[in-house]
Structure 1
């Protein structure tokens, strides 16, 4: 009787054992997920062409940030990769917006910035 219960318990666990990936597969998946995460440094400037007083924010590894730039800023510097940086006309990451296509300096008037890595 006990032997039958043990055999049935092992049979019940068999699908779970077969479905679990090998350790090497888990490591490869983890490494591929990490490699798609990005890091970006965004600097908001009071003047045109990335000049004047500034405010700097860094977002990394799948993070999200929305911040207000009161008073409004006039240019934005972006460095890094793997993240989407967007300026907004509203102070809560809403309204009309501009998406920075890559790292660089962009002259654009805005009230808030969203960063998604």
Structure 2
């Protein structure tokens, strides 16, 4: 009698085990959802370069959704922008002074002392 109860319980759980996604599949679905949410929210990758045409030594900053960042730079002569947020270069080191607002993604040759990013 106990054997029948155990067998019935196993048979009842079998459809649940078959319906559950494999851990790898669940993780893959979560990563895909995260990536789509990030693109919806707004993300920008800003790379500052020592050379005139986005060349030379560089530093990279990423800002996403609702973020604001102001950072000073030194010895930078161009900036590369990839993303959908507002990027402004400033003559002063504290996101003040004369500024240039990047109108689109790409590489811009401009002298600047700081960068502000608004997503």
Do they fold alike, i.e. is TM over 0.5? yes
Residue aligning to 2:109: 107
Residue aligning to 2:70: 66
> 1 CA distance for matches of 2:49 and 2:58?
4
**TM-score relative to the length of structure 2:** 0.65
Corresponding pairs, count: 82
Instruction: Give the C-alpha shift of residue 80 in structure 1.
Output: 1.0
**TM-score relative to the length of structure 1:** 0.67
Residue aligning to 1:38: 42
More strand by share: 1
- RMSD between aligned residues: 1.5
User: Once superposed, which parts of structure 1, at least 4 consecutive aligned residues long, lie more than 2 Å away?
Assistant: 34-37
Residue aligning to 1:85: 87
